[in-house]
Amino acid sequence: HGDIHPLAAIVSASDFICWTQALGSFNFFFHPTLNPQVERIVNLSSLKIEPILKQMNRELALNARIFNLPLRDLRGFREALQKTNFELARINSLYSDTKRKLERHIQELHDIKSKLEKHVREMNILNQIICKTRESLEPSQIIHNVLQGIGDGFGFPRLIWFSVDAQRGKIIPKATYGDFPVDLLNAFKDSTTWEEEIGTSLAACIQDKEILHLKAGRTKGLLSSSSCLLSALHSSELLIIPISTDRKVTDLLLIDNQDEPVTISADTIKVFDILAVNLGMALENAKLFQYISQMAVVDCLTNIYNRRQLESSLSNEISRASRFQQSFSIALFDVDHFKTVNDTYGHQVGDLILKDVAAIIKSNSRSIDTVGRLGGDEFMVILPNTKMESAFAFAERVRHIVEEYGVLRKNIFPKCQITLSIGLAEFNNFQDTPEDLLYKADMALYRSKQKGRNTVSAFQG
């Protein structure tokens, strides 16, 4: 591998010239090796071949006389020259074929490299999106992060997130990315059901729990509903990805490639398969967190706030009202003769009564009111920005409805006498604590009991 000696370079060049003349310093026919460094020492392109050949002929003639060797005639020379040309042609063909194979392999390696780079890029984007799903335990925020990540990272122009309502057989658009015509979204919101032509494609995806790849012009195995879906979205290529939580498909992610020149590859679909699994787990965790959070503040029997949340809300409302110098009221409700119901008909009937009363109070309250169960058969409502007169009207309305409800229940349970005793207190003394306000409302409730129950009393300070 070191530098070639000048003499060796000259010999190598001479051998090659002789080889083309079917002569040389070797006694068998093969292509001599011409060291790549020969041209660095011997300028082959500037060699004058004719004088070299004349000198070669003189030396051959001299050697023939001295050693009594036969000289090749013209016929022998032509035969040797033809063999040389055959060998050169064979070598040239071998080189050309090897070059073509090498170029093909280089292209294949280039394609593999491009695919690997694309796959690595997509996996990095996937990892970023999955990390984004872990930044929030709010399902709507998770969905927003995912749509933003897919749209920005993969470059898809339009995305739709559908919520699956299996009971009603409806598929409802919940969130979008990109520019969707308003009339198209309204059409989805108004009438996308499994029975409709567009809906059947989405339903098939839900049933199979597999990604559905729709592409214009690919008719084999393509439902007419799929063509209809492509047409409705004015798209040439779609991916519909089912998202499963608790082993059921609860959502669909529709990726619209619209008229992009690059189609969605099988490798990209595999990436979205991984995303779907991780996204399902993220949404399941979020829903579990919401459930646990709700259980911490909601009464499990009546599905309204529990005592802890009521106390927290009351403290917050006192702070807010004190800061803005505003009054508010609270109402305490107690189910009359509830012990008799439990003793006579059992706790199952008692629980039914409590749930019904809670529902009546909740349905007659405002969205800004806080409704909860203090415990047993006692309920409380916090009424922001409400003076005593309005609170009294609210309490009287609830009392009257529960009284009518009690009449209906008496037809089934004759010994039930379901009514409410209600006590009211207004927060207008900005020095009152939560305990002070509850005490006032409780005193008013006690007065209602003393009046014979089924009545409303306000605290008179």
Beta bridge partners of 243: 251
How far apart are alpha carbons 403 and 454 in whole angstroms?
Answer: 8
Is 12 in contact with 34 (CB distance < 8 Å)?
yes
The H-or-E segment that residue 282 falls in is helix 266-297
- What DSSP letter does each residue of 80-111 carry, written as one string? HHHHHHHHHHHHHHHHHHHHHHHHHHHHHHHH
Is 237 in contact with 264 (CB distance < 8 Å)?
yes
How far apart are alpha carbons 331 and 337 in whole angstroms?
Answer: 19
Crossing angle of helices 6-20 and 49-67, rounded to 10°: 80
How far apart are alpha carbons 13 and 7 in whole angstroms?
Answer: 10
Is 444 in contact with 332 (CB distance < 8 Å)?
yes
In Å, what is the CA distance from 6 to each residue of 3, 33, 37, 223, 253?
Answer: 9, 16, 10, 77, 74
- What DSSP letter does each residue of 326-390 carry, written as one string? --EEEEEEEETTHHHHHHHH-HHHHHHHHHHHHHHHHHTS-TTSEEEEEETTEEEEEETT--HHH
Please, which contacts does 408-412 make with residues 24 or more away whose CB atoms are closer than 8 Å?
409/353, 409/356
- List, by residue number, the catalytic residues: 377
How far apart are alpha carbons 200 and 225 in whole angstroms?
Answer: 6
CB atoms within 10 A of CB 283: 21
How far apart are alpha carbons 444 and 336 in whole angstroms?
Answer: 15
How far apart are alpha carbons 425 and 382 in whole angstroms?
Answer: 10
How far apart are alpha carbons 47 and 375 in whole angstroms?
Answer: 112
How far apart are alpha carbons 62 and 16 in whole angstroms?
Answer: 21
